Structure 1
């Protein structure tokens, strides 16, 4: 453990703080986190936290969700520039107009959206529980699903629904190269392809398993196969490899030629170990939400947690 990591651990004790980290964070951050998970698990953990300070090593909408659930706690984000391309693809005013043009629809939004979008929703979901939440809604009830069109298409396929989809997407999960993926699979013919449902349909059609980050880790742990090509943000490979040290994990290739030959989220990588230390030390930047907005966003988030 580095001196900076030791300092962070000491600050956690002094500040009565807990660090929640997403699987896509850099390894050094995951090593000092108290809890690592996907969006659902992190929301559930945020709800259970007893510490007075929550440091969210993830992106802005995740820290907002923690604040929605914990108005009395101080929620910190190492860098406020840790945003989300998917959340950015769904502006509040435009989405409100979209809902108004389609009256009578129940609004289900993926957790990867702003507090303002959550406040316009009837339900919030994650990739782990989306099918369950959609299944809880009467089949004759029309649904708007936002903001991820790729996840929405996949959910329509597996649930038999015909949800009206908002046209948003995650740049990370749309960065996979089908041609490079097929070439990689030819080089490793025994490898199973597993994919996150935010990926495009032609990527999902190659996959032996489709699921959330947590679901992918569990699948690799239980599978008798020993080699996998992983189509999601490459940060997942650190935690996954710890779970299956004897198995071979290969990141799915991106269209762009880059040093890791994989797809990485620049927003997730905005957070660094130094920024994590500094935000704990100075207790800033803090994520705040106006109480009226927080209250409106809370109900759909609570519904998600109750159905999970």
Structure 2
């Protein structure tokens, strides 16, 4: 089968079986084309909860599929490639989080949504990169324990000097591979280009950027900007997506190291096998895990909308 034939078969089967396909923004464009919704991990989960589908197929990584199950426990949730995980999500588990809560008694524990369902059961609030500043600003507490991404946490701290965030060492390996030297080299090659980076990047990279924001924020900024050239400091697939969306503009990858190997694991044939019912992995969470993990997500919705 060629790409178009495979996509046509996926579209036929998802309609026949009432399957909603969710694609994270870091997925390849051939997967975007068959998806019902494309976006960040939380946005996809919210869309999925409202979708009139019996089955949700997540083209992303495991914690994203878990979040879908937490928000849609009555639906069947599949992860297209069972091996696709998130290194940052595995940097802290429930036990380590409980140890931190003992070390900082009385402080609310705020977790980046890029964490496991198990860890979320002991968190007070979760945040996304796009909602983190708004949510933490609205929290009444002045001191906050933030896990696991110290780069995102440091960026939040810079935006909210009235808050004290206690951070732990952790973060996204893909974004941490980008350096200030990469920015300087890219600017030397493309002096007219604006630099757009994700707040998961190192502070030395963020400080040199023209815009710092979530993946969806970067996409929106580049599409709406009057500028014609951009250096993109997040997962490499975003350059490809922007080239499709804005063929009249030029997009350059900040570094050849901007690759999330876990996101790249999911392929169009994986999606086909999953909708055929012979691939993917169904996500199972206990009722107690769903109930306990849902509390911090509901708190995020309450504070951030």
The answer to whether the Cα contact below 8 Å between 2:196 and 2:231 also exists between their aligned partners in 1 is: yes
> 1:237 & 1:189 partners in 2: Cα distance?
18
Q: Which of 265, 270, 275 in structure 1 is aligned with 2:265? A: 270
Is 1:214 the counterpart of 2:196 in the alignment?
Answer: no
The answer to whether the Cα contact below 8 Å between 1:44 and 1:305 also exists between their aligned partners in 2 is: no
| Deviating 4+ runs (over 3 angstroms) | none
- Structure 1 equivalent of residue 155 of structure 2: 154
- Structure 1 equivalent of residue 165 of structure 2: 163
My pick for the range that moved more, 289-298 or 237-246, is: 237-246
- Structure 1 equivalent of residue 245 of structure 2: 243
The answer to whether the Cα contact below 8 Å between 1:47 and 1:66 also exists between their aligned partners in 2 is: yes
> How far off is 1:178 after superposition?
2.4
> How far off is 1:262 after superposition?
4.2
Q: Which of 64, 69, 82 in structure 1 is aligned with 2:66? A: 64
Is 1:76 the counterpart of 2:78 in the alignment?
Answer: yes
> 1:168 & 1:262 partners in 2: Cα distance?
18
> 1:40 & 1:132 partners in 2: Cα distance?
15
> How far off is 1:243 after superposition?
2.6
TM-score normalised per structure 2: 0.95
User: Where in structure 2 are the equivalents of 1:45-64 lying within 5 Å?
Assistant: 45-64=47-66
- Structure 2 equivalent of residue 290 of structure 1: 286
Is 1:18 the counterpart of 2:11 in the alignment?
Answer: no
The answer to whether the Cα contact below 8 Å between 1:251 and 1:262 also exists between their aligned partners in 2 is: no
Unaligned runs of 5+ residues in structure 1 are 254-260
Q: Which of 22, 32, 35 in structure 1 is aligned with 2:34? A: 32
> 1:139 & 1:26 partners in 2: Cα distance?
40
- Structure 2 equivalent of residue 280 of structure 1: 275
User: Where in structure 2 are the equivalents of 1:95-244 lying within 5 Å?
Assistant: 95-140=97-142, 142-160=143-161, 161-244=163-246
> 1:214 & 1:305 partners in 2: Cα distance?
18
**What is the CA RMSD across the aligned residues, in angstroms?**
1.3
The answer to whether the Cα contact below 8 Å between 2:175 and 2:234 also exists between their aligned partners in 1 is: yes
Unaligned runs of 5+ residues in structure 2 are none
> How far off is 1:224 after superposition?
1.6
